[in-house]
A = this chain, B = another copy of it.
């Protein structure tokens, strides 16, 4: 392994000079810099991560905590994770992958050991047990604080109480509202919401409840009848749910689907029952773009902006690490793209 000292010797300068060439923290004459850079390349030098972390108290690593359960929105999580990793790299950071398994202990372990300088948490629950450890984080340098007291962090998702936390999320409330508006504008008066699996609501994951909130309050304002049913993914569960919905509200002409693995089953079932999309019923999905365009009917949808969520979370974190001030909560505005699955409510529909 090549060390900084070896580079220094090779270039005929002192160790500190090499260090400063690398960090750019003090000015170096061009000739010296060139010589050093030449030596670095020639010797194939890479600074030792451990030594650097020890001397500088910064690991240049951010921890990303992903949920353990792989039952939900998996492609989205993956896309976020990759966006986090690539964005982090552009800032000179690497990403440590933590699973939710260890729970709060992982937070303590990473914080305590200085393994990571900061962390990003995905799939935060409304009342998450990891939150107390993170509140007020990101105040490095505040009077009386010692380095390491603190773990700057950003949440992807929105807990019930965001005091002292920085959060990034799609504005699911607005998303719900947007879906209702779109259908209402097309004349639909009876809307059914095919929600996430019951477990998601029981777990009190924020996004599902917020979406419902948005859907309900906008529906109330617009005088729309709304029926919400949680639904497991898959064909069988969707069939049962659909039957119940149509039994209870036969006049339903609009669907909002939030469980991506229920989308295709729903379309298949409607087709099977002779209900044409969008002539007889309209369907709006809340799902990744890819799912919307690959479905058997190109779906009108509100996209889940996974990339942007990941990228934005990292930007927030970098700002914190730089001591910059920033928003506590970044809500990404939803965008509804009209495709082939929604159209005017059928003429004969009950007003």
The interface of chain A, by Cβ under 8 A from chain B, is: 1, 44-54, 59, 61, 64, 66, 68, 70, 74-75, 77-79, 81-82, 85-86, 89, 94-99, 101-102, 108-109, 111-115, 146-149, 233-235, 261, 264-265, 268, 271-272, 293-296
Contacts of A77 in B (CB 8 A): 78
Q: Closest CB of chain B to A235's CB: distance in Å?
A: 4
Given A49-B59, A294-B235: A86 in contact with B74 (beta carbons within 8 A): no
Q: Closest CB of chain B to A277's CB: distance in Å?
A: 13
Most B Cβ at <10 Å: residue of A59, A89, A94, A109: A94
Contacts of A98 in B (CB 8 A): 85, 94
Report Cα–Cα, A75/B308, bound state, in Å. 20
Contacts of A59 in B (CB 8 A): 49-50
Report Cα–Cα, A46/B111, bound state, in Å. 9
Q: Would you call B99 and A96 a contact (CB within 8 A)?
A: no
Q: Would you call B70 and A99 a contact (CB within 8 A)?
A: no
Contacts of A234 in B (CB 8 A): 293-295
Q: Would you call A68 and B82 a contact (CB within 8 A)?
A: yes
Report Cα–Cα, A36/B53, bound state, in Å. 26
Contacts of A51 in B (CB 8 A): 50, 54
Q: A45-B112, A49-B113 are known contacts; what are 4 more A-B pairs with Cβ within 8 Å?
A: A54-B54, A70-B78, A75-B78, A234-B295
Q: Would you call A114 and B48 a contact (CB within 8 A)?
A: yes
Contacts of A74 in B (CB 8 A): 74-75, 78-79
Q: Would you call B82 and A99 a contact (CB within 8 A)?
A: yes
Contacts of A82 in B (CB 8 A): 66, 68, 70, 99
Q: Would you call A235 and B94 a contact (CB within 8 A)?
A: no
Contacts of A89 in B (CB 8 A): 99, 101-102
Report Cα–Cα, A146/B1, bound state, in Å. 7
Q: Kindly list the 5 A-B residue pairs having the minimum CB-CB distance in the complex, ordered from nearest.
A: A46-B112, A50-B53, A234-B294, A50-B54, A235-B296
- A233 partner, pick from B54, B94, B294, beta carbons under 8 A: B294
Contacts of A271 in B (CB 8 A): 268, 272
Report Cα–Cα, A50/B51, bound state, in Å. 6
